[in-house]
Amino acid sequence: MLKVVAPVLMATLVAGHGHVTNIVVNGVSYQGWDINSFPYSSDPPTVVAWGTPNTGNGFIAPSNYGTSDIICHLNATNAKGHAVVAAGDKINLQWTTWPDTHHGPVIDYLANCGDSCETVDKTTLKFFKIDGVGLVDDTTVPGTWGDDQLIANNNSWMVEIPPTLAPGNYVLRHELIALHSAGSEDGAQNYPQCFNLQVTGSGSAQPSGVLGTELYKATNAGILVNIYTSLSTYVVPGPTLISGAVSITQATSAITASGTPATGAGGAVTTSASAGQTSSTTTARTITSATSTTTSSATTLTTKVSTSSTTLVTSKTTTTAASDSSTQTVYGQCGGSGWSGATACVTQATCTSMNPWYSQCVPTAV
């Protein structure tokens, strides 16, 4: 039986898988865009993340690379606040649980907003790449990718703002591209997430960039690619890294305070004490890799475990991950070559073959 569903919800019933819950700068955590509540509010709180009606954790497909949706996600609207960071600071972006089948690169860009990222027209932003980790090791096809490192890093990614960057207002465009279905045209899945930053410092670099709608083409070698065959090389899509980009070791950031977004020309405020001591609180797990290396070259994964008592001060974490039970959750994997997990989906979803290697529990129209 067909039941009437609001068009907005219909539009977001696409197979998708995650978003950034919060970002951490020097121990201070700023809340992200909460897809479970903000899209339903007429006056969502001021956060440093761009807004989107994408309640279904959906992605942007290559057929939409020429539309403004690729810039900061579906129908994205400017963040109403920003975080203040110094050039050279590291930012930890914490994701919801990322599925280990969704291999692909992790990419970070910045774009200068001029006077304000809160009011800038996103279609004028020119993005330059400061970080891009693609195929790290292909010993065991489909290989170890940037987002496998993200998963191993507590589902989070650390990126450094280039120390040489000129101070100013910037949009950080952080993106995962899932390539599990990318062997077919229009099969890649882009998950861009944008955040407003006010960068301080004394650098002078003003790298040139490209419009969001010109970052990728559906036929780029790093977009239309079958990752289930051995790849001799993988080129991270998009423009090349800027010369001032810094290669860093992945690490997590313990949260010591919650931050209130700055607005207007103001600086961000920390709302609880003892912020800013990252050196003593980072590194629960580290993974060594060169951010500028896009091909394999014997990267070693090391795991150092040290304990740090962390209090998560931001809101709830969404559970979108596949469970270990015999029925798979919506958007989880339910089949494909080599798959030994659950093949049945929860009642609201149907197991649908995306390609010979990947089947997914896609929500059933109700």
Ligand X SMILES: *[C@@H]1O[C@H](CO)[C@@H](O)[C@H](O)[C@H]1NC(C)=O
User: Residue 321 or 344: which CB sits closer to ligand X?
Assistant: 321
Report the interface residues with ligand X, using CB under 6 A. 8, 11-12, 53, 74-75, 94, 154, 252-254, 284, 308, 310, 312, 317
Q: Which is nearer to ligand X, 198 or 250 (CB)?
A: 250
Least Å distance, CB 35 to ligand X, is 11
**Nearest approach, Cβ of residue 312 and ligand X (Å):** 4
Q: Phi/psi at 38 (nearest 5 deg)?
A: -60, -40
Characterise 281 by phi-psi region: left (phi > 0), alpha (psi -120 to 50), beta (else): alpha
When the beta carbons of 39 and 167 are compared against ligand X, the nearer one is 39
Q: Which residues neighbour 323 within 8 Å (Cβ) at sequence distance 6 or greater?
A: 329, 332
Q: Min. distance of Cβ 206 from ligand X in angstroms?
A: 32
Interatomic CA distance for residues 266 and 113, integer angstroms: 16
- Nearer to ligand X by C-beta: 75 or 274? 75
Smaller CB separation from ligand X, 217 or 316: 316
Three-state DSSP state, 156? strand
Closest CB 358 distance from ligand X, rounded Å? 25
DSSP 285-338: S-B---TT--S-S-PPP------------S-PPP--SPPSSSEEPTTSEEE-TT
Q: 319 vs 340, which CB is nearer to ligand X?
A: 319
Q: Which residue has the tokens 């479970």?
A: 36
CB of 306 to ligand X, least distance (A): 9
Q: Are strands 83-86 and 189-200 parallel, antiparallel or unpaired?
A: parallel
Phi, psi of 71 (to 5 degrees): -65, -60
Query: Rounded to whole angstroms, how far apart are CA atoms 74 and 77?
Result: 9
| DSSP secondary structure letter of residue 266 | P
Residue 64 or 317 having the CB closest to ligand X: 317
Min CB(155)–ligand X separation in Å: 6
| CA atoms of 236 and 303, how far apart (whole Å) | 25
Q: Could you tell me the smallest distance in angstroms from the CB atom of residue 202 to ligand X? A: 30
Phi, psi (deg, nearest 5) at residue 289 = -165, 150
CB of 67: closest distance to ligand X in angstroms? 10
Cis peptide bond prior to 261, omega within 30° of 0: no
When the beta carbons of 85 and 254 are compared against ligand X, the nearer one is 254
